[in-house]
Amino acid sequence: MRQVFTTGLLWFSAIGCGLMAGIYFAFSTFIMTAFGRLGQAAGIAAMNAINVDIVRSLFMPLFLGTTVAGAALVVMGSLRVSEPGAVSMIAGGGLYVIGMFVVTMVFNVPLNNALAAVQPSAPEAGAVWAAYLKDWTFWNHVRTVASVVGCALFVAALASSS
């Protein structure tokens, strides 16, 4: 029973990390660039609209569920560190929780909140928008890499435990 639960959690985490990686990859590779070309008022309005809608979407259960599952795999792997796949479970979960969740909460969310406080057409919004594009995208790159590598480590744990 324990192995079935662990395998299910690994599959859920691998798929969740993969989906999150795809979302972050899209933002890192073309969405933020396109928003930057829109001009400050339109770019800020578009990003603020996304930030309002994303917390009301299916993104949130996936975001939170994959984080909780990753943290659980760290604990489970730590309790049986000598078993096949345990180190990959610990590394994948730790990397994902820190590199995706913690980075989001410490960097991306405060940047989103600061952007939401700015009047898009105000003169000072230009400097805020320019800094936002640079800083938010950098931290999004970190989330992308953490999600991709977390996914790969969960797949490695699945492969080594079969």
Residue-level pLDDT at 30: 98
Q: At what angle do helices 125-161 and 109-116 cross, to 10 degrees?
A: 150
Q: Distance between CA atoms of 91 and 42, rounded to whole angstroms?
A: 40
Residue-level pLDDT at 18: 98
Within the chain, which residues score under 50 in pLDDT?
none
Handedness of CA 39, 42, 48, 54 (dihedral sign): negative
21, 24, 29, 34 alpha-carbon torsion, rounded to 10°: 150
Residue-level pLDDT at 10: 98
Residue-level pLDDT at 132: 98
Q: Distance between CA atoms of 20 and 5, rounded to whole angstroms?
A: 22
Q: Distance between CA atoms of 47 and 157, rounded to whole angstroms?
A: 36
Residue-level pLDDT at 2: 84
Structure letter (DSSP) for residue 84: T
CB-count exposure of residue 2 (10 Å: 0-12, 13-18, 19+): exposed
Residue-level pLDDT at 161: 79
Residue-level pLDDT at 51: 98
- The separation between CA 100 and the C-alpha centre of its own chain, rounded to angstroms, equals 4
